[in-house]
Structure 1
């Protein structure tokens, strides 16, 4: 049993008000995730502790609603309501948009089907479970209180001997949850007490009721997009007790010296104004106003907006679940090239022709588990890389997939980008981005900044540390490098202009008009879209009359191609940002 008085004391790097007497830790907070900010998790756990600085309050778009809330609410009912849609709309609130209501309706149907399948399995074993109130592990000592929670639908047998928690996910319920999260969930079932209703305020302590210790503990998971269902844990109480024996050390480790990990989630963090790891860069985007809401901007989000503003709206504003589609064509080629280069550069040695032996996979492709077809897709572009590999230049050291974040507090936008390669050359900072294409005529340097906004981001992010930014362009015939001096004020100014040009429309957009047509072909949210077209065009015609091959992104039969045309064509080839990592 954990004694709250013995818990490590967290000392944040900013002035606070309130108290640290109540600590509430969800099972989700304990899961291992290198990309998640541990400090943010610990700050959320101290529910009565506030950041003293209150400027720059997070402004959320009211149309963004929690999609799985109504599903939990419905499955927790012992009797089905007469008006299912009415319950959904009431639960989502008055600001919910039709695509969100549609998504929840579909997911609820799937969750009900999965639940019925689980009930049928239990009946075959003469086991009856009914929805019950949530369970919470609560310990109080010396005016300090620790509460451990888990989010999902709780069930219990009539004789109280069996307790079950059903977790909700989007798809593939058989995928096991993070072990630490599962241990925490089992602990709540085993040692928790039922709560006497929901919290009046988040800062209130849960009121718990007396509990009968269970004999059996079970954790199941339901996929709300595919009706999948799986059992993640099923054991008697003694085995469950052994399984959760490490919870005290998990809690102590969680509260001890948490690490910062700035990223896109900083946009909604209540500590961002005082956080030392959140780089404040007022004026970064060169925009004069704050827009309508706080935003998180990434290159992927910007490309989604270029493809179709409504697609951006459904994915980034409403945050509807996306379809996982098989990567093909130019998208597949780009991913293969990226993966091969990242693996090759981990060796900290220059790429050579020996890495691509004729008629063989080579050690790098073998390490990646590639087939000969995969290598054939990327081989000619990789051959073009050999002569311009950044590690062929002496005194160059690089790391792949490094995330960089900055907060433009003037525009209230959190900018997050992931560098293909980041490091040093002759002790000077170096940022390298690699792009592959079928053919690309040489452009002016400032045109590349519009075409590839991540280069403009990189230049502005590098301004404070100096060094250079390099754009590596690969075609089947050759490769070349375009260099930008991040210490040159003129280069930085051009980069800021390019960012402002690229982001201005998105920043002020409220209506997000659709662009039905080519963008619908591989749209990841077409299932929820109420403005899509059902045809599957092979070409996209832009405003200037140029045609774009949707499969390859290549411009067809056009002279004097504008940068705007190129940027819209390339947007079709950029991968869609997607995460099924749910916030509980």
Structure 2
């Protein structure tokens, strides 16, 4: 009998346990059951969903990695490869590759050039320091053991992998693992993740295959020494595809790698492997146990929109997704699906809003909770910050004034101690007819006398226009109304409310919506349907240049948007 309970809605073999670096991050928002299921690659959904694919490549780094494979392993000229990248629309003529959107092609070409420059700079620095250079390694590094007796988890094989770009010194003394980030290079990663990466680099053996089955070791007599020798030294390097910078996260000898793995790596992986319990969220989209999960509310016909003619893979959607799509389908594909965002500085208004949000999240998330009216403002209103961002001057003074205005409307003021408070909680439900996971993350949720209060707090530079539709202007309120009306959070609908708090420097605009009123529900459903209906059937995501191009996070890769702004600028001269 296995100590890890097989989730309902799954079938298959749980004897193989395999972890990757994602398992070591232990994001508290992740679902423990999904983590445990993902660590068992031979476990499948029951019934297994049909094999459906989107038109465009949706694995952001696939084109980038294929291009680097041609350059590093096939020794193709980089500029020739980038030319092929564009000519073949990212497929390179390889088997079962999907074409990539034009924005992904532009991003990938830039990222390849940045990566090659970073690698060259790193190798130059090593050469100057008298350290051995490293060469690309094609093999997957796998730490594992041959199948043995079945243990208490029901497993007979354990494997660890670490995805990235791999390199080794020709004398076998050093291995490197380059980890990749879409945007700016991270300064650090969780200790457990770094330890797992170093251990795989230090102890991993070359292996192949492995899709939904055990990896197959590559015989040593078929490989040169630098691909088989276990190194004395390992380096893990972070590369930011968006800014081209690279940071050395660690440089450890083999003993240090083992010590860190014992202290930080294995405890994190063990927690992922043994995880039980459920937490619905973004992971529901590709969870093997979705059909048997009792924690995920099913809300058929919550949207009441027409399904697409061609069946699509299961997707998730939020109001932020739909608003991005409304602006421009190409922007949605790049920023929401591929997670590509410019590293250009945010506007002062956006930065101020993020800092105010971070302060409110910290205050509301304290235990036991307290009203913001009891808490002091920034010590220096003209210079303060939160969440790694700093405000100064007018930007800081305006933010401090908004925090002061919020104190008069803090929802925790006078709230009974027995009530439940959730900060930045993901409210999730599933529409089986659309095969769609709907996700909303209100700023604050709390119970009050048997109902749920859904609070959205926004910093505002202007007041609402009289007669302006609140739900159309803030469609996240509409989705909140629909979720509360459908009982997604439970509680008494008649006692539940959706609240909007608009913070100004000298006032607060406060609005309230009742999810038990049919008229409010009907208008909310119409607002969301107008946003979701064109999105749900689109597979092409064309660029739609307009006023929004100036602040688009994907502009630098969008030729239609760049041309639109250039034309607009000429017209206004």
Matches of 1:371 and 1:171, distance apart in 2: 26
Alignment of 1:129-528 (within 5 A): 129-132=134-137, 133-139=139-145, 140-142=147-149, 144-173=156-185, 175-195=187-207, 197-199=208-210, 201-210=211-220, 211-246=228-263, 247-290=265-308, 292=310, 293=312, 294-317=314-337, 319=338, 321-346=340-365, 348-352=369-373, 355=376, 361=381, 371=392, 373-392=394-413, 395=416, 398-437=421-460, 438-443=462-467, 447-463=469-485, 464=487, 465=490, 466=493, 467-476=496-505, 478-528=507-557
Q: Which blocks of at least 5 consecutive residues in structure 2 are unaligned?
A: 151-155, 221-227
Task: Give yes or no for contact 1:291–1:411 (8 Å, CA) kept in 2.
Answer: no
Q: In terms of mean alpha carbon deviation, does 467-476 or 304-313 score higher?
A: 467-476
Task: Give yes or no for contact 2:185–2:240 (8 Å, CA) kept in 1.
Answer: yes
Helix, strand or coil at the partner of 1:531:
helix
Q: Does 1:46 align with 2:46?
A: no
- Alpha-carbon deviations, 1:380-436, whole Å to 9, x = none? 544544444333455376443222111122222221111111112234321112234
- How many residues get paired? 527
Quick one: which of 117, 120, 125 aligns to 1:113? 117
Matched residue, 1:128: 133
C-alpha deviation, 1:519, in angstroms:
1.1
C-alpha deviation, 1:135, in angstroms:
1.4
Q: CA RMSD in A?
A: 3.4
Task: Give yes or no for contact 1:218–1:234 (8 Å, CA) kept in 2.
Answer: yes
Q: In terms of mean alpha carbon deviation, does 210-219 or 458-467 score higher?
A: 210-219
Task: Give yes or no for contact 2:34–2:283 (8 Å, CA) kept in 1.
Answer: no
Q: In terms of mean alpha carbon deviation, does 452-461 or 366-375 score higher?
A: 366-375
Matches of 1:129 and 1:93, distance apart in 2: 30
TM-score relative to the length of structure 1: 0.80
Task: Give yes or no for contact 1:450–1:502 (8 Å, CA) kept in 2.
Answer: no
Task: Give yes or no for contact 2:36–2:275 (8 Å, CA) kept in 1.
Answer: no
Matches of 2:558 and 2:124, distance apart in 1: 34
Q: In terms of mean alpha carbon deviation, does 161-170 or 380-389 score higher?
A: 380-389
C-alpha deviation, 1:174, in angstroms:
5.7
Matches of 1:174 and 1:470, distance apart in 2: 36
Q: Which blocks of at least 5 consecutive residues in structure 1 are unaligned?
A: 541-584
Matches of 2:398 and 2:203, distance apart in 1: 54
C-alpha deviation, 1:257, in angstroms:
3.1
- Alpha-carbon deviations, 1:12-42, whole Å to 9, x = none? 3314322112222112222232223332232
Matches of 1:350 and 1:22, distance apart in 2: 50
Matches of 1:364 and 1:527, distance apart in 2: 31
TM-score relative to the length of structure 2: 0.82
C-alpha deviation, 1:63, in angstroms:
0.1
